């Protein structure tokens, strides 16, 4: 399911999570040279990237440069059906993993467990194939780097963005977890209710985090967050 995220502001203190830093390392690997990397980072910090559309295997965004605007698409390999099933099993295998993901955390052991099953969640530089409508002769160009950098900011806050890019978005993951409980011998109601409760709690955590950021920046707080 495609989701579009609004224009991003640079994170205070930079990317903090280990998985967000891993994404940024992949961006560095993907860059042809330091010049493209520096230009892309500058464009990202200046807010020249518009809303980022995230779908299975693809990122899409417009990037402004003076009076021009260019369209960037980044293709990322998605997990096949077997890989998605394995990833769901990994999430369900340990107590607390669902809650952690919904609260914006990516347990390191979850990623390691997935890798043991042959499922690569975090991309490496060679997997980030970008195209842009600009005339730049190298790929990825600075505009594409800017989109990748800002996607890393999204991943840093919500690792489920990473799942979505790999072909297993939030709704698909929760649906698969619900379906999995139906195969259990014991009545699944309590397990399913727990997933629902965790999702509600995670939304509350994200709202609280957003409220704290607004208060720290002295920005106006909308009534919906009070």
In a domain, 163, yes or no: yes
Q: Residue 198: in which H helix or E strand, if any?
A: helix 189-216
In a domain, 213, yes or no: no
Q: Residue 189: in which H helix or E strand, if any?
A: helix 189-216
- Give the total number of structural domains in the chain: 1
| CA–CA dist 96, 116 (Å, integer) | 19
Provide the token pair at 15: 């990317």
Whose tokens are 């892309």? That residue is 40
Q: Is the pLDDT of residue 20 over 50?
A: yes
Whole domain around residue 107: which residue ranges?
3-168
DSSP string across 48-82: -B-PEEEETTEEEEEEEETTEEEEEEEE-PPP-HH
For position 187, what pLDDT does the model report?
Answer: 46
In a domain, 225, yes or no: no
Q: Are 22 and 151 in contact (CB under 8 A)?
A: no
Provide the token pair at 189: 């109601």
Enter the DSSP assignment of 126.
G
Long-range contacts of range 71-75, CB-CB < 8 Å, 24 or more positions apart?
71/132, 71/133, 72/130, 72/131, 72/132, 72/133, 72/143, 72/144, 72/146, 72/147, 73/130, 73/131, 73/132, 74/128, 74/129, 74/130, 74/140, 74/144, 74/147, 74/148, 74/151, 75/129, 75/130, 75/131
pLDDT for 105-116, tens place per residue?
Answer: 999 999 999 999
Q: Is the pLDDT of residue 205 over 80?
A: no
In a domain, 206, yes or no: no
Q: pLDDT-derived band of residue 215, with 50, 70 and 90 as boundaries?
A: low
Q: Is the pLDDT of residue 189 over 50?
A: no
Average pLDDT over residues 75-87: 96
Whose tokens are 């559309």? That residue is 53
| CA–CA dist 175, 115 (Å, integer) | 23
For position 154, what pLDDT does the model report?
Answer: 96
| CA–CA dist 61, 140 (Å, integer) | 14
Q: Pairing mode, if any, of strands 58-65 and 52-55?
A: antiparallel
In a domain, 203, yes or no: no
For position 226, what pLDDT does the model report?
Answer: 55
For position 1, what pLDDT does the model report?
Answer: 78
Average pLDDT over residues 216-221: 61
Of the given ranges (74-78, 152-156, 213-217), which has the lowest mean pLDDT? 213-217
In a domain, 217, yes or no: no
Q: pLDDT-derived band of residue 181, with 50, 70 and 90 as boundaries?
A: confident
**Nearest residue to 96 (alpha-carbon basis) of 201, 19, 1:** 201
Using only C-alpha atoms, the chain has a radius of gyration, in whole angstroms, of: 18
Average pLDDT over residues 203-224: 60
For position 111, what pLDDT does the model report?
Answer: 97
In a domain, 224, yes or no: no
In a domain, 124, yes or no: yes
């Amino acid at each position: 399911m495609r989701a579009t995220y609004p224009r991003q502001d640079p994170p205070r203190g930079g990317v903090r999570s280990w998985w967000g830093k891993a994404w940024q390392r992949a961006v560095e690997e993907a860059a042809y040279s330091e010049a493209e990397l520096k230009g892309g980072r500058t464009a990202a910090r200046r807010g020249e990237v518009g809303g980022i559309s995230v779908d299975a295997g693809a990122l899409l965004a417009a990037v402004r440069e003076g009076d021009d605007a260019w369209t960037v698409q980044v293709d990322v390999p998605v997990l096949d059906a077997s890989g998605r099933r394995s990833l769901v099993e990994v999430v369900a295998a340990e107590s607390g993993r669902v809650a952690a993901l919904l609260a914006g955390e990516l347990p390191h052991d979850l990623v390691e467990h997935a890798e043991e099953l042959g499922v690569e969640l975090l991309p490496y530089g060679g997997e980030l194939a970008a195209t842009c409508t600009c005339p730049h002769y190298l790929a990825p160009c600075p505009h594409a780097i800017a989109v990748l950098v800002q996607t890393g900011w999204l991943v840093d806050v919500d690792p489920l963005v990473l799942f979505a890019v790999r072909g297993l978005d939030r709704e698909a993951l929760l649906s698969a977890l619900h379906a999995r409980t139906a195969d259990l011998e014991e009545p699944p109601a309590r397990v399913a209710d727990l997933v629902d409760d965790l999702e509600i709690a995670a939304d509350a955590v994200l709202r609280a985090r957003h409220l704290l950021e607004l208060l720290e920046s002295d920005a106006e707080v909308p009534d919906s967050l009070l």
